Amino acid sequence: MATERRRTCARCRRPQATCLCDLVVPVATDTEVLILQHPQESGHPKGSAQLLYLSLSHSTLWVGETFDATQLAERCGAGGKTTVLLYPPSGAYPCRTLRPGALTPGTTRLVVLDGTWRKTRKLLHLNPLLQQLPHLALQPAAPAGYLMRKAPRPHQRSTLEATCQALAAIEDCGERLAPLQQAFATLNRRFLAYADSAGP
């Protein structure tokens, strides 16, 4: 068991004991998703972004804390798309807030920050371009299913849950995303079962 814990899956970057590759559900969307992941979240057994990234056909994952400003600006401005940040509005960085109804599938780029709330705030602070993006405002549509971690506030969701909610609102594609959300529920159950069997 100790050897299995140390080995890492090359595809999902998680420990072999908690590999999620069999849960990947291919989902086609018209909205581009750029996931900016804090390095400490990469390969974390409680993370949800890797399942999201491997499942969404139109997604990219960058790992880092401070991203190259030129590359980030080029990516956020590419293709004439409307780029929005999936993040609660913050008084620290005044910006325009958009609702899903203002966005069009195929012309929208969704930037998602992945990490603990403290780490995502740091990503926002260290990358000034992100502070200038309009925020996408969402209201939680269902109780959180993120059982592997406890959110500091009831309305907060995992990266996968929040992104699926945003995509469903922009594209009206809730049925298409349902298998991915079911896979995430299975991932939660598996992790809890594994944690119980592993003991303290």
Sign of dihedral through CA atoms 87, 123, 153, 149? positive
Angle at 95 between CA 89 and CA 99, to 5 degrees: 60
Looking at residue 149, what is its pLDDT?
54
pLDDT at 84: 95
* Alpha carbon distance 152, 154 (integer Å): 7
Considering only CA atoms, which of 88, 55, 62 is closest in space to residue 76?
62
Segment-wise mean pLDDT, segments of 10 residues, the chain, 200 residues: 65 84 94 96 86 96 97 94 87 71 91 92 94 84 55 68 92 93 90 66
Residue 195, pLDDT score: 66
Confidence (pLDDT) at 102: 86
pLDDT value of residue 1? 43
Q: Which pair of structure tokens corresponds to residue 77?
A: 């401005």
Cβ neighbors of 71 (< 8 A, separation 6 or more) are none
pLDDT at 192 (0 to 100): 78
Which of the 8 DSSP states describes residue 84? E
